[in-house]
Amino acid sequence: MFSFGKGFILFAALAILASPAAYANTYLFRVDCKGQAFVAQWDSGAVDPGADYFRIATGDRNLDCSIYDYNGRTDRDLPRRWCSGDAGILRAFPPILIPLGFSHCR
């Protein structure tokens, strides 16, 4: 007969083994604005919408700037800014972020 402690440990072990692994990808883009350049860094969560989504979101957050794919040889010394945001708001209403002060990566 199982004791409560053994049953709990067995249940916890099975729950940990059965849970999906959380994979996160990092996406980097070079952002060139008037007089400044930096690297925008996005860290995806368990749900990854892909590089194209983050490239568009970077452009939405940095209006009047040019967005390029990251090149490690030429862009590694640029300052990095971490970007984050609600995917639904970015996808549905990107212009609303401008007056709210969310137009740049931090």
Q: Note down pLDDT in tens along the chain; length 106 residues.
A: 457 777 677 776 666 655 555 567 899 999 999 989 999 999 887 778 889 989 988 988 888 899 999 999 999 999 999 887 655 444 555 555 555 544 446 6
Domain boundaries in the chain? 22-100
Rounded to whole angstroms, how far apart are CA atoms 40 and 29?
Answer: 5
Q: With beta carbons less than 8 A apart as the criterion, state whether 54 and 45 touch.
A: no
Rounded to whole angstroms, how far apart are CA atoms 35 and 56?
Answer: 22
